[in-house]
């Protein structure tokens, strides 16, 4: 894709998630999910994450809370790394998931906390 929003989205996505992650999701041009990644990069990353009204740190904060509420462990893992890249601390991430507990339920909060612990362990082992 060559739109300006896509280019901006890819740049933000790389800055937040890391080039290794982005490259791994975009490596196969015949891949079934490539179109989904292109649209997501252009729309979510290129049109939403680049808006001036909220900084990236706050966007990461909100994204983790929403993903926990939706109980989306795969995306939580991706965005925990992104949140750390955007300046959130492990303690802040813990507090996000604790805050999810009374509003979205213990299973969602516990699952999100477990995913974050796994990501922290992977980062510590790198």
Same domain, 66 and 97: yes
Buried b (16+ CB within 10 A) or exposed e, 27-60: eeeeeeeeeebbeebbeebbeebeeeeeebeebb
Whether 87 has a pLDDT exceeding 90, the answer reads yes
> Are 65 and 121 in a shared domain?
yes
Identify whether residues 70 and 42 lie together within a single domain.
no
Q: Do 47 and 65 share a domain, yes or no?
A: no
In this structure, are 60 and 103 located in the same domain? yes
Same domain, 31 and 80: no
Residues 37 and 79 in one domain: no
Structural domain boundaries, residue 123: 54-126
Tell whether 73 and 121 lie within a shared domain. yes
Report pLDDT digits (tens) over 42-84. Answer: 999 999 999 999 999 999 999 999 999 999 999 999 999 999 9
What percentage of residues in the chain have a pLDDT greater than 90? 83
pLDDT at 29: 63
Considering the domain architecture, whether residues 4 and 60 belong to the same structural domain is answered as no
Kindly state the DSSP code that residue 29 receives in the 8-state scheme: T
User: pTM for the whole thing?
Assistant: 0.90
d(CA 63, CA 60): 5
């Amino acid at each position: 894709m060559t739109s300006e929003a896509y280019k901006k989205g890819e740049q933000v996505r790389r800055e937040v998630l890391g080039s290794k992650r982005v490259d791994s999701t975009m490596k196969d041009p015949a891949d079934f999910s490539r179109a989904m990644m292109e649209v997501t990069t252009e729309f979510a990353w290129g049109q939403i994450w680049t808006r001036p009204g909220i900084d990236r740190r706050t966007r990461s904060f909100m994204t983790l809370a929403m993903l926990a509420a939706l109980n989306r462990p795969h995306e939580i893992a991706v965005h925990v790394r992104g949140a750390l890249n955007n300046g959130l601390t492990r303690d802040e991430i813990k507090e996000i998931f604790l805050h999810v507990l009374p509003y979205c339920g213990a299973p969602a909060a516990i699952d999100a906390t477990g995913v974050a612990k796994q990501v922290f362990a992977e980062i510590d082992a790198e």
